[in-house]
Structure 1
């Protein structure tokens, strides 16, 4: 089915009002550098280090990081030349098919709605490093109320809060990198470990742990850790100059990947070893941030508590960003008839209906107080990781099909894409898609042959795939529309506002 020519950003009758452009370029730059860094990097890397070892951890994060950077360049190309309000999933409708766009919209919503309770659970785990006796049933309501308060003040103050959180994240990684350097150099007198047990000695003896199963396991952590980078597409919709900031963000992401992901991961692999057996313990080291644990094992006083406090704020920041992403995504798809009318409601410049739904789902965090509450962590981690891989694949496929449509019609790329063009072109997006497909397969394969003493159910690793399949096939069956790919000749390249993706009916 070909798209029509009317604008996609026309609000559905079920929506009320629109979101104002109040986020400044300065705020957006800080968000591009450090927003959406949360438990995936700050906590789950500990388990990945224990299972895979330092070499797979670094290699996996480097490969996925490169693919994510390419993806952001592709998203920058699309968003600056074909601006939309619904971000990447509208491109899925435009350049792939209505059914795929529908599934990607709901995949994104389900992902970040589930990440909110996931991050709250992680905040409880981090708080227990300070005081193991703190009851989760008291901590969880406090964290949820704090998240709600930020949204009372709207998008501008959300952006300001993220700027403060971003500075703290960059500070904690700077402190850790400098401290790890001194530990490796045997310049920390309080460290009881001899220099012969640190640095490249760890890599020599534990570089690759548990063979291929350990290597594949890392990709679940990497898929989660980089998740949310693409939410800059939503944030840009509320920026004063969205075309300018998205082109800039796609370039800033490269520095973010190297400085805030790869360098800290390289250093933690040089100063910390976590036995696989520890993952089965009730109070396991893999439930403490590996960056804090590395400093604590060096015997440095006070600093681990300071870093842990900053990490708690950083994870709160990711929960905050997840509320923003899920509420904006839910509001956007609902305003076009892809969801309940109530969720498209905007009052006081806020997506009130969507925020209510998001905060209701955040109550899932109370599962932490149940006897099997820790299993919720693994299930939500697997769901978020698979969902992120699908999101990034869809963005890359949209960029590929846009370029192919330009070629097929004999148009000049400089004319159709005047604002910004990805330096990686089609081949970069193809490479990124292959990495993401590998990440999905690796996640399932690692679950089938899990080296963990208490492995999660295999179905947990497939949950994200099931979610996408249900929405994708469900839409095609409901609409009797079996279009898998919109023909290249029918893709509208002349209209600089997105053509209306589909006549969705309200759910």
Structure 2
């Protein structure tokens, strides 16, 4: 690996400025944690317990957490050896086939561009809590401008913004866990509930295996975003050190937060409480976090949680805009997207890719305001599978990466970071991701819902394969032979 100054990535063929390696270890760690802590934890955790009971929810989130750990191991091994902005899109191109890498790249870009639009809609709903008489689009437009400015300044500006967004979320969860334990012990909030809520009705396991399977899907969506650390590797300072550190710490911290939160809610709120099933960003007053804070005597708990959830939404939008922009930039450099999208500002920001992504996100948001918003609903549903397809691409790329190393007699001892559970790790991750994708709408698959519901849930799958196959037919490029795979690493 070259010893060239680590402040920039290798010069591009266009002669433009390049991405800058300005993201420190603390940025990567908090970006990873922030990517996994959001409304899925603050709001959807209550519905998970209502559906599967506290025990069922714990099992589902633990299993998905383990799957994410395996995926992060695979991603960490490749990202530390080959820290590029395109990350898993580039790995798919180099180790599987150019057509697969093309499909993964566009799939990931599309997923996060749509997510930006979804977060703008959610932010407008949250603001109605304080300003019910103002039209929501005003807030969405304001937040979009804020996100664009944060991303346009520099990678470090994005990293700093995401660092502080994540700090707020992490601090909220820690305070919640501390107050929750004190309440469980009866030190504050009145009499200790003991294990009553773990034995009431069908608790701790409600709905049996199907209940756990249903939460399996919810948990999977909640953890999406942890893979962003792979995208940031292209702008990480000393990635062979900072990326492994983020990978090692992310799993245990996220698992502690999720498992701890579900355990606290399970002790303090019975799964039969209707508030758990009805909690959402529109009615934050019945979020499980709000209910526990109120029991602990926190004044204005609903307003506090509303502010935290707004922070989470902006954090998700910030990361979505960043990661999709970098993927578009990387695809421009490998010929999978128009070359003008590969140009950067003097601060190393892919401004053209940023502008296009922001415009697409804004257009998708506007579509949610037109008519009944049906077009937007289909767009969001189509992106639902995209995150899991990306995860499967990471696992498969890791398997092919190792095959390339073996075929080219590359000593594993030279890898900056090694996945401890290879090869069983990526194989298990592939299987679990497949279960999540297929099982995301079991009711529709079993014929309990109409064809529209079935298509709406699974439309992302044929879209991905269509992109893959069409690129294959047009380019006629073969799959990658492991003995000929490109193992060259970027200069740092």
TM-score range, shorter chain: 0.7 to 0.9
Report the Cα offset of residue 260 of structure 1.
Answer: 2.6
Residue of structure 2 in register with 1:491 after alignment: 485
1:400 matches 2:399: yes
Aligned residue number for residue 265 of structure 1: 262
The two structures have a TM-score, normalised by structure 1, of: 0.83
2:475 counterpart of 1:468: no
| Partner secondary structure for residue 461 of structure 1 | helix
**Structure 1 residues 244 and 413, CA, compared in 2 at 3 Å: closer, same or farther?**
same
Do the aligned partners of 1:173 and 1:264 also contact (CA within 8 Å) in 2?
Answer: yes
RMSD of the alignment, in Å? 3.5
1:371 Cα deviation after fit: 6.9
SS of the equivalent of 2:236 reads: coil
Q: 1:451 to 1:144 in 2, by over 3 A?
A: farther
**Are residues 114 and 293 of structure 1, via their aligned partners in 2, closer, same or farther at CA, if it must alter by over 3 Å?**
farther
Question: What's the secondary structure of 1:195's corresponding residue?
Answer: coil
Are the counterparts in 2 of residues 35 and 229 from structure 1 also a CA contact under 8 Å? yes
Q: Which residue of 1 aligns with 2:69?
A: 69
| Residues 120/284 of structure 1: CA separation in 2 closer, same or farther (3 Å cut) | closer
Identify the residue that residue 501 of structure 1 maps to in structure 2: none
Task: Assess, with a 3 A threshold, how the Cα gap between structure 1 residues 336 and 105 changes in structure 2: closer, same or farther.
Answer: same
CA drift of 1:235 comes to 1.3
In the TM superposition, residue 51 of structure 1 has moved relative to its aligned partner by: 3.5
2:290 aligns to what?
292
Question: C-alpha distance in 2, partners of 1:449/1:78?
Answer: 39
Q: Does structure 2 conserve the Cα–Cα contact (< 8 Å) formed by 1:44 and 1:286?
A: no
How many angstroms apart in 1 are the aligned matches of 2:430 and 2:259?
Answer: 21
Alpha carbons 1:56, 1:208 under 8 Å: kept = yes
What is the CA–CA distance in structure 2 between the aligned matches of 1:444 and 1:385, rounded to whole Å? 11
What SS does the aligned partner of 1:240 have?
Answer: coil
Question: Corresponding residue for 1:329?
Answer: 327
**Are the counterparts in 1 of residues 341 and 350 from structure 2 also a CA contact under 8 Å?**
yes
Task: Tell me, in whole angstroms, the C-alpha distance in 1 between the residues paired with 2:288 and 2:377.
Answer: 17
Q: Is the 8 Å Cα contact of residues 214 and 446 (structure 1) preserved in structure 2?
A: no
Deviations 1:7-48 (Å, cap 9, x if unpaired)? x977465x8431122222333333234345333333343444
Tell me, what secondary structure is at the counterpart of 1:22? coil
CA contact (8 A) 1:393 1:432 kept: yes
Aligned to 2:154: 154
- Distance in 2 (CA, whole Å) between partners of 1:372 and 1:278 is 28
- Compared with structure 1, are the counterparts of its residues 34 and 284 closer, same or farther at alpha carbon in structure 2 (3 Å cutoff)? closer
How many residue pairs match? The answer is 480
Deviation track 1:107-164 (CA, whole Å, cap 9, x = no partner) reads: 1101111111112222233334455555323322222222223234221111111111
| Structure 2 gap segments, 5+ residues each | 1-8
In 2, Cα distance between the equivalents of 1:169 and 1:470? 38
Q: Distance in 2 between matches of 1:371 and 1:265?
A: 38
SS at match of 1:85: coil
Partner of 1:240: 237
Displacement of 1:83: 3.4
* TM value normalised by structure 2: 0.86
Unaligned runs of 5+ in 1: 1-7, 499-507
